[in-house]
Structure 1
């Protein structure tokens, strides 16, 4: 309920999952993982930043880099929204080979594209 007004879509789920479970990431790292253009990720981050869900932080180890993180005020709501996804995904994908994981991810992306298009 805390995130209902943000109109989050499936594409946000993937981005927020990476940031929640892997910690703050750069736009380029997120783009590589999501397999989309950095400009696409920048647009999503900009939208979520304006709503206060995400925030940009300077990397303490390299002051030239900007990291994207979930805003502290929304961390619990995002974690609740994702539920036990981390445990579920780790249990489901952990035993698979890299090729098997890639097939599962490609299938899920094809599904997401089909749902988003219609």
Structure 2
């Protein structure tokens, strides 16, 4: 293993992460879905939307779209998919009657909280073991990785230049 003064060299770190990420995703996908949500054909995109509603509370489609970084029409379709089986509800915003607020229905609040708890408890155990600066580094690295995935690689740029 190639190392630098205080950790793995860049190439070794990249290799380790490339091998680790599929295992992480695979394990996250195997988290048990509560019985009340089984058979609902929920996808990762739904989990992200439900997580925002669970942790941030009821909000509008436009606010959800901004948080998820997708178009409002995409969120509207997802809300429709989750409203049909009764997981989500749309209500008139009392502050602005023209606006609709999306919320998790009381019947599904418990099962959704239970579903999210698997990942949340794992992250809590990890983050408790880190100093605040280390937590900041982990979060910043994951955001930077997400951003880097959106940018073309050197190979893609070279192929486009040909």
- For normalisation by structure 2, the TM-score amounts to 0.57
Count of paired positions: 107
- Structure 2: stretches of 5+ with no match in the other structure: 1-34, 151-162
Q: Using the TM superposition, give the Cα deviation of residue 64 of structure 1 relative to its aligned residue in structure 2, in angstroms.
A: 2.0
* Runs ≥4 residues deviating over 6 A: none
Q: How is 1:19-38 mapped onto 2 (pairs within 5 angstroms)?
A: 19-38=53-72
SS in 2 for 1:80: helix
- Structure 1: runs of 5 or more not aligned: 111-118
Moved more, 30-39 or 77-86: 77-86
Q: C-alpha displacement at 1:7, in angstroms? A: 1.1
Is residue 2:68 matched to residue 1:13?
no
1:3-25, Cα deviation, whole Å (9 max, x unpaired)? 00211111111000000110001
Deviation at 1:53, TM superposition (A): 0.3
Greater relative contact order (CA < 8 Å, ≥ 6 in sequence): 1
Measured after TM superposition, the shift of residue 101 of structure 1 is 5.6
CA RMSD of aligned residues (A): 2.5
Matched, 1:4 2:44: no
Q: Do 1:21 and 1:86's aligned partners in 2 also have CA atoms closer than 8 Å? A: no
| Partner residue, 1:103 | 144
* Alpha-carbon separation, structure 1, partners of 2:97 and 2:120: 30
Task: After TM superposition, give the deviation of residue 61 of structure 1 in Å.
Answer: 2.0
With normalisation by structure 1, the TM-score equals: 0.76
